[in-house]
Structure 1
Amino acid sequence: MNQEQVIAYIKDNNIQKLKFAFADIDGVLRGKVISKKKLLDGMQAGYGFCDVVFGWDSNDATYDNVKLTGWHSGYPDKLCFIDLSTFRTVPWQDNIPFFLADFTGPDGSSLPACPRSLLRRVVRQCEEMGYHAEFAQEFEWFNFKETPESLQQKGFANMEPLSPGMFGYSVLRTSQNSVFYYDLFNSLTQFDIPIEGLHTETGPGVYEAAIMHDEVLKAADKAVLFKTAVKEIASKHGICATFMAKWNADLPGCSGHIHQSLWKKDLSQNLFYDATEVNKMSELHKQYLAGQLYCMPHLLPMYGPTINSYKRLVEGAWAPTTITWGVDNRTTALRVINTTADYTRLETRIPGSDTNPYLAIAAALASGLYGIKNKMTLDIAATVGNGYADKTNGSLHTNLFDASTAMQNSAVAKELFGDGFVEHFTQTRLWEHRQYAKSVSDWELKRYFEII
């Protein structure tokens, strides 16, 4: 909707309140319900929002190492702006009107810490290069017969999964939970997050959903909204959904794979496809893939943003550990899918479901465009067979500290995203590492409490 259409909708439907939200650095939605007058007054001027939302972590603990905001600045308001084109209604909340926002002003200025604003800048660059980017992110997540209260009471132990056993692609399990299962599919579609496929994955109570592909910014919006929407819909059914990358050491992790392709602006041709080339990969596709391979170690925290991310990135766990690519190979970091002209695409398999979609998608697109701009050659051979064993081109960092330190010192990362973002983001990841380093885990208690 444009401004005139939004105003008409509010008037015609006697709307008195609306909801808006934006994603913080972790991809967590922060927002509020506002009055009709507040919405109308701020459409052009913006809405003041305390910038502590970019100065604290996912548990609202304030960072001690960021320059953008803090006690030194007094945590002032920063202006955020609603993107009216993101209008939708929330079907499980009495169809309250909802908008996404970011911190990009009408003059194009933006807050370096705002993930959506960062992606918008990358998308603008893509369009200036003459391309239309189509993206989609898919997610796996576990469902439990728990509530926030029961999780606290249990200390996040002995949680009851929605269904027992390892039963991927199960028709039986989804039928046994059909009320929840079909509510997910139907409500998400009504919320303008059309689902291409929804099924169980292997593991107790785990689902996987593929979101229909779309223009890259819209695809990222849908991915961000998907995670919160699933949690809200699940809560209606007495279910708690988690998007942790690896909640249990003995079970598979949860992926957040990114599918992508570049097209002519009129969508008349998939520029990744060339039937005359080896693997049907166009030269543009090869350059894009080469850029991702090259930038991968420089941008890894954008794909693996939490301590837990790296518990998933281990050998034999359906997640990559090496800097590799292959054709329809699920053991490599990048997977080329070339079934038909329309469906030829690249799948970036590093991200888990714990990613901030704006940042993961920005990393994928920016690094691909980097390869095109620099006319990079794909001099890394496709991996045939086990990608875990192919360490020819190196391995991914195995923890958040090493990955964040590498990005913090990377000239490539700063070239792609600017000093302001790289400094702020990597400091938040190093903070995350420090919180983990000083914690005492159950593993330590069980191993050392009595015997040492």
Structure 2
Amino acid sequence: MAVELHVTVEQLPKLLRHDTKIKLAGVDVDGILRGKLVSKKKFLSVAKDGFGFCSVVFGWDMHDMTYLRELKISNKENGYRDIIAVPDLSSFRRIPWEDNVPFFLVSFFEPEGATLSACPRGLLRTVADKLEAVGYHAMAGAEYEFYQFRAPSASSGAPTSERNSSSTAKFLNENPVDALPSLTEGMFGYSLTRPVHNQEYYYGIFDACEKFRCEVEGWHTESGPGVYEAALEFGEIKEMADKAGLFKSVTRSFPRSEGPKSFNSLRYVVKSLGSKFGITPCFMAKPRQGLPGNSGHMHVSITGPSGLNLFYREEKDQNPKWPDIAHLSDFGRHFLAGLLDGLPDIMPLVAPTVNSYKRLVENFWAPVTVSWGLEHRAASIRLIAPPTASPKATRFEIRVAGADANPHYVLAAVLALGWRGVVKKMEIEVPPLGKGEDVGGSADQGERLARSLGEATERFMRKGSVAREALGDGFVEHFGGTREHEVRLWNEAVTDWEVRRYIETV
């Protein structure tokens, strides 16, 4: 397991003695890294107290369009003011593909000093602090599935491995989406031979992640054309969220003309220029109709002051309400009850885009209800516990989250809901999903989750929502406003499907 670095301001001059520049980046609401390159002199002067950073990164969407309804953090009235970005020295790492330039993540604060309500790193830290105040520590792991595409060359239509002006964005401007070729064709989950087709890319990602402190535990093909899955190394929850976000930025930007040495980790946007490999990793929840979507499963457990797993029950319950929880502690049962109770109210955090809800449909290995079960991969929450897992590995896997979700928000919501259940000593109200039972079927007693981003956002923002109680009104108002923006843009869009279906017939 990776060890968290403890770097002090006093150590920085020695640590950076051979450097002249530093890269800094914060995380916006969509999980995109927003940052800049600064001189060492500038960095050393702001390392302790932070520096002004334009708040517009919380005033515009993923394509730098200001929100249709201006929100409190950044707007015309406050002049798109500066907020304060404070470097997190424990996040120090070097970017091996950019000549080992030093890199630090920042957290955002109000000018008066309070944590910015919508700062993803700040939100997770605020929730985690509640547990740490009583001696508990949250641990987490992340698994990401994602499709990969290779844009053909503009001239011949054949895939290219040469760096040229043919990017995926340019290709899609001139061709239908369905024409974009997958990295590999066919359904080859857990194949040992498929990755050899793109060996330099496949091993380059793994090695680059290790050097960049985003260690990968498992890396394999998933079922789907050009689909890979990565399981990141389990660790402390705040550090895990950082690694998950950085992993997505690494893979999305990966190849340039000389492989792992030269790609830019801050190019989080999918539409980057074509490169040596010409590959575009895609973390959309559902990029292809009729095929499985991309999940972003999160694993969470809690340890006590002694380091023992608090979800594990040392003596098996001989008369549990359901056999599934025989090895789950009372603490774990309260935590699970909190997750189940609040899940419908935090759906925009685990399914944040219009496209997210194309994945959450029946019969596609994706959960659609408030459901759980011991080792049940069709449920929204999979309990992993003895006898199939070791006591120390007892945990919950939140399977409703998509690969498109911001990992800081997902983990903050999971931790906040679970802790709410513990504090209130909540009881599990929904029976486990039986083995062989279909999620959303007649035997599934769980509430149906939102079917659209609009429906999810309305519930998230309503007065008295669990989201408001667990995460605060300031955060809910801001993030909810950003989702209303997405919904409005979608409602105004005219899709190819509509034109093809209606152009001649109505």
TM-score, normalised relative to structure 1: 0.96
1:232 to 235, 238, 253: 253
Shift of the 319–129 alpha-carbon distance from structure 1 to 2, 3 Å rule, reads farther
Q: Report the Cα offset of residue 154 of structure 1.
A: 3.2
**Alignment of 1:429 onto 2:476:** no
Contact 1:132 1:264 in 2 (8 A): yes
| Structure 1 partner of 2:396 | 346
**Alignment of 1:195 onto 2:201:** no
Task: State how far apart, in whole Å, the 1-side matches of 2:476 and 2:484 are.
Answer: 12
| Structure 1 partner of 2:493 | 439
| Structure 2 partner of 1:291 | 338
| Structure 2 partner of 1:131 | 136
Q: Report the Cα offset of residue 45 of structure 1.
A: 2.7
1:94-243 to 2 correspondences below 5 Å: 94-104=99-109, 109-146=114-151, 147-148=167-168, 149-154=170-175, 156-235=177-256, 236=259, 237-243=277-283
Letter matched to residue 97 of structure 2: W
Contact 2:138 2:236 in 1 (8 A): yes
2:38 is paired with a residue of what secondary structure?
strand
Task: State how far apart, in whole Å, the 2-side matches of 1:366 and 1:350 are.
Answer: 16
Task: State how far apart, in whole Å, the 1-side matches of 2:43 and 2:113 are.
Answer: 21
- Following TM superposition, the consecutive aligned residue runs of length 4 or more in structure 1 with deviations greater than 4 angstroms are 105-108
Letter matched to residue 348 of structure 1: I
| Structure 1 partner of 2:78 | 73
Task: State how far apart, in whole Å, the 2-side matches of 1:354 and 1:260 are.
Answer: 19
CA RMSD, Structure 1 to Structure 2 (Å): 1.5
| Structure 1 partner of 2:384 | 337
**Alignment of 1:324 onto 2:371:** yes
Q: Report the Cα offset of residue 416 of structure 1.
A: 1.3
Contact 2:431 2:445 in 1 (8 A): no
Q: Report the Cα offset of residue 251 of structure 1.
A: 1.2
1:256 to 258, 275, 296: 296
More helix by share: 1
Letter matched to residue 271 of structure 1: L
1:179 is paired with a residue of what secondary structure?
helix
Q: Report the Cα offset of residue 308 of structure 1.
A: 0.6
**Alignment of 1:314 onto 2:353:** no
1:67 is paired with a residue of what secondary structure?
coil
Number of residue equivalences? 449
Q: Report the Cα offset of residue 425 of structure 1.
A: 0.6
Contact 2:25 2:36 in 1 (8 A): yes
Contact 1:81 1:105 in 2 (8 A): no
For structure 2, which runs of at least 5 residues remain unmatched after alignment? 1-6, 152-166, 260-276, 318-324
Q: Report the Cα offset of residue 264 of structure 1.
A: 1.4
Q: Report the Cα offset of residue 410 of structure 1.
A: 4.5
String of CA shifts for 1:162-220, please: whole Å, max 9, x gaps. 11111111111012211111111111011111111000001110000000111110000
String of CA shifts for 1:357-382, please: whole Å, max 9, x gaps. 11011011100000000001123211
1:92 is paired with a residue of what secondary structure?
helix
1:400 to 453, 465, 468: 453
1:281 to 319, 325, 328: 328
String of CA shifts for 1:290-325, please: whole Å, max 9, x gaps. 000000111111111110110000011111001110
Letter matched to residue 150 of structure 1: F
Contact 1:279 1:327 in 2 (8 A): no
Q: Comparing 241-250 with 380-389, which one deviates more in the overlay?
A: 380-389
Task: State how far apart, in whole Å, the 1-side matches of 2:463 and 2:222 are.
Answer: 37
Letter matched to residue 149 of structure 2: F
Shift of the 74–108 alpha-carbon distance from structure 1 to 2, 3 Å rule, reads closer
2:11 to 5, 8, 11: 5
Task: State how far apart, in whole Å, the 2-side matches of 1:414 and 1:163 are.
Answer: 44
Letter matched to residue 190 of structure 2: Y
